[in-house]
Structure 1
Amino acid sequence: MLIYLGVMLLFCFLYWWYRDSKQITAVSDKHVYITGCDTGFGHLLAQHLDKQGFQVLAACFTEQGAQELKDKTSSRLQTFRLDVTNSESIGKAAEFVKSQVKDKGLWGLVNNAGISQPVGPSDWLTIDDYKVLLDVNLIGLIEVTLSMIPLIKRARGRIVNMASIYGRISMFGGSYCISKFGVEAFNDSLRRDLRCFGVKVACIEPGYFKTHISNPDVINEGLIKLWGRLPQDVREDYGDDYLDKFWPHAKAHIEKLAEPNLMKVVWRIHHALTSVHPRSRYAVGVDAKLLWIPLSYMPTAFTDFLLARQSVKPAKAVY
C-alpha cells in the first residue's frame, strides 16, 4: 500500500513538473505593460523581458526613472509616465498602450507599482495615512487593470499582480498589509471572472527582498516622522525610549531576512507570463516559503503569541 501511494505521489509530481515546465517560445510579437519601473522589481523585469525579446511598455512615475531604464535597454522598449493614483494619467496610459498593441491586444499586464510608507502601530496613524497607501497599492492597481481588461481579453493574455507574503499574514499596522490582502482578494475574483475568456491571472507573493520598500533607512525615517507628530498621551503609552528599543530590533530582523537577489522575483513573473499553465500564486523567498506561509496557516492564538514574543512591548503594555 505504501509503495503504491509512493508511486502515485511520484507520478503526480512528475506530471506537475512537466505541466509547469511547458513554455511559450514565440514572444517577439507580444506586448507587456509593466507599472512601477523606476526601481526594484519593475526596473529589473523591464530589462529582463526586453532581453528576452518582448515588446515592453514600461510605466515610470518619474522622468529620471524612465531615462535610466532607457539607457539600459534596447530601442524596442518604450517608457511613459504613469501616476496610478490619477485617473487621467491612467486613461492616457491606456490610450498609449492601445496605440501600440493595436488589434493584437495586450499579452501581459504586470501590476508592480507600490509603496510601503507610512507604516507603524495603528494608533500612530490617521485615516489619511491609510488612504495614501491604499490609493497606490490597491485602488490604483484595480483601476489600471480595469483599463486594460478589453485588450487582455483580445489577446487571451496574462495579468500578474504584485502582492506580498503580507497579503497572507498581517505583521504590522498601517494599510500595507491591508492593501496586499486586498490585492489577493482582487486577484482571486479576477482569475475566476476572466478564466472563461482564456485570460490567466497570477499573484506574486515575495517575502523580504532588498528593495526601496524594505530599505531600513526609509522605514526608520517614516517611523521618526510619525513619532514626531504623536500626541503626548500616545507617546506616554509607548514610552519616550520606545523607538530606541524598537528600531535596532526591527532593523536586525529586516537585514537578517532580506534577500538580495531580486531576480528570484523576476523569474517568477517571467514564468507567469510565459508558462502554458501559469500558477495561481508564486511565493518567492526562503522566508516566504518556510516561515510566513506556514505561520499564516497556524491557529490565530498561536500566531499572535509567537509574534508578540518577538515584539518590543510599549511602556504601558498590560500583558
Structure 2
Amino acid sequence: MCDITGSEPNTSHFGKYLSEGCDSGFGHKLALRLHALGCDVFAGCLFPDGEGAISLSKYQSERLKVVKLDVTKDEDVFAAVNYVTNNLRNNSLWALVNNAGVVHYAATEFGENGIGVFDETMRVNALGTVRVTKAFLPLLRKEKGSRAIFLSSIAGRVEFPTLTAYSMSKFAVNAFCNSLRREMKRFHVYVSIIEPTVYKTAMGDKKIILEDFRRIWEKTSDEVKEDYGHDGYRKNHDYVEALMDTRISNCDDVVDAIVEAIRRKEPRCVYRVGSFVVRATIEASTYFAEEFSDIVYSHHISMITLKLIAFVHRVLRI
C-alpha cells in the first residue's frame, strides 16, 4: 500500500495517494517516483523491517511514510486506515494504488493435496485487493475526482498454462475493478486498471520463480508425479523458463502509467503496458475461438512463440 500526496494537475490543492506492496518492484519504484514529484506517500509494506521498507525510511521525509500492511489481515488494514486518516492533510485521499501480489508457476495438479497455491494467490491478489479498497473507499469518496488504481496483468485477460491460480486472481481483480468503476461513478471516483506484461521485478525473478516451481513439484504426491513423469515436469519447467525469458528489464513504463493514472484529470479505464509483441499476440488471440486458442497455447506452439518473443526482445534490447 502506498499513499501519496501530490499536486493534481491544473488545480491549486494537493491530493493524497495510498499504494500497497511497496517492499519491492513497481510499488517501491512508484513510492520513490511520487516522492520525487513532491507527493506525500504512505507506502504499505508487508515487511516494515525488510530491506525495501528500510530503504524508503532512510529518506526521513515527512512526505514518505512506511505503513505495515498485510492485505490478508483485517487488523493490518484497519490500522493502516487509522494511520493514514490521522496523518492526511485536509482529511482526504487522492488515490489508492493496489499493487500487492503473489505468483506461483505450476501445473494445477502440482503441489500438496488441497488448494494451497490457489488459496494463497486468491487471498492476496483478489480478496486482499477487495479488503484494502473497501476499507479506504470512504476516504476516497470525500475527494471529488479521486481514484483507485489496480495492478492487474495480461494474465487477467488470457489464461496461460502453469499460471492458472494467478490468472484466476487477476480475472477476479478485473471484474472487481469494472464493477467498482460503475458503482463509484456517482461519487466521481475514477477506477483504472494497469495491465503489464512480464517484467523483471522481485516477483518476476527467474531464479526465485524456478526454485519455487521445483519446491512445488517436490511436494507433489507420488501418484501425480508418476502420471506426469519426468517428461511432464520438464515440459512445464521449460515453459515457465521460456515465459521468464520474455521479461522486460525496464519497469519505468509501468510506473509512468500509474503516475499518469494518478495525475491525469480523467484517467483511462485501462492502461496496457509492456512489450508490443506480447500485447499484439495476446490481443489477436482474444478473438480466437476457444478451440483455436487451445492450439495456440498448446505446449509446442507456445514454446515457439515465447522463444520468438524473447529473440525479438533481445534484438530490441528491451
Equivalent residues in 2 for 1:213-232, closer than 5 Å: 213-232=203-222
Native 8 Å contact 2:34 2:41 kept in 1: yes
Quick one: distance in 2 between partners of 1:165 and 1:245? Answer: 22
Native 8 Å contact 1:85 1:139 kept in 2: yes
What's the CA shift for 1:70?
Answer: 2.3
Residue in 1 that maps onto 2:109: 123
What's the CA shift for 1:27?
Answer: 8.0
Amino-acid identity (%)? 32
What's the CA shift for 1:241?
Answer: 4.1
1:41 has 2:26 as partner: yes
What's the CA shift for 1:103?
Answer: 4.5
Native 8 Å contact 2:72 2:127 kept in 1: yes
What's the CA shift for 1:71?
Answer: 2.6
Higher Rg of the two aligned structures: 1
What's the CA shift for 1:49?
Answer: 0.6
Quick one: distance in 1 between partners of 2:291 and 2:176? Answer: 27
1:146 has 2:134 as partner: yes
Q: Deviations over 1:164-200 (max 9, x none)?
A: 0100011034411100000000000000000111100
Native 8 Å contact 2:155 2:170 kept in 1: yes
Residue in 1 that maps onto 2:172: 182
Quick one: distance in 2 between partners of 1:283 and 1:148? Answer: 25
Quick one: distance in 2 between partners of 1:60 and 1:26? Answer: 30
Dislocated runs of 4+, deviation >4 Å = 25-28
Residue in 2 that maps onto 1:31: 16
Native 8 Å contact 1:50 1:73 kept in 2: no
Residue in 1 that maps onto 2:232: 242
Quick one: distance in 2 between partners of 1:163 and 1:43? Answer: 17
Quick one: distance in 1 between partners of 2:207 and 2:78? Answer: 35
Native 8 Å contact 2:106 2:236 kept in 1: no
Task: Name the aligned partner's letter for residue 79 of structure 1.
Answer: V
Moved more, 95-104 or 130-139: 95-104
Residue in 1 that maps onto 2:86: 99
Which protein is richer in helix relative to its size? 1
Equivalent residues in 2 for 1:132-143, closer than 5 Å: 132-143=120-131
Residue 203 of structure 2: SS of its match in structure 1? coil
Q: TM-score, normalised by structure 1?
A: 0.85
Q: TM-score, normalised by structure 2?
A: 0.85
Native 8 Å contact 1:59 1:80 kept in 2: yes
What's the CA shift for 1:232?
Answer: 2.1
Residue in 1 that maps onto 2:199: 209
Equivalent residues in 2 for 1:71-86, closer than 5 Å: 71=58, 74-86=61-73
Native 8 Å contact 1:25 1:274 kept in 2: no
What's the CA shift for 1:113?
Answer: 0.5
What's the CA shift for 1:112?
Answer: 0.4
What's the CA shift for 1:75?
Answer: 3.8
Where does the alignment leave 5 or more consecutive residues of structure 2 unmatched? 1-7, 304-318
Quick one: distance in 2 between partners of 1:224 and 1:195? Answer: 46
Quick one: distance in 1 between partners of 2:154 and 2:59? Answer: 30
Alignment coverage as a number of residue pairs: 288
Query: Residues 249 and 138 (structure 1 numbering): CA distance in 2 closer, same or farther, change over 3 Å?
Result: closer
Task: Name the aligned partner's letter for residue 82 of structure 2.
Answer: E
Quick one: distance in 2 between partners of 1:136 and 1:40? Answer: 16
Residue in 2 that maps onto 1:191: 181
What's the CA shift for 1:244?
Answer: 3.7
Q: Deviations over 1:53-109 (max 9, x none)?
A: 111111111122211122357442111111101110010001011112265410000
Task: Name the aligned partner's letter for residue 122 of structure 1.
Answer: T
Moved more, 266-275 or 120-129: 120-129
Residue 37 of structure 1: SS of its match in structure 2? coil
What's the CA shift for 1:300?
Answer: 1.4
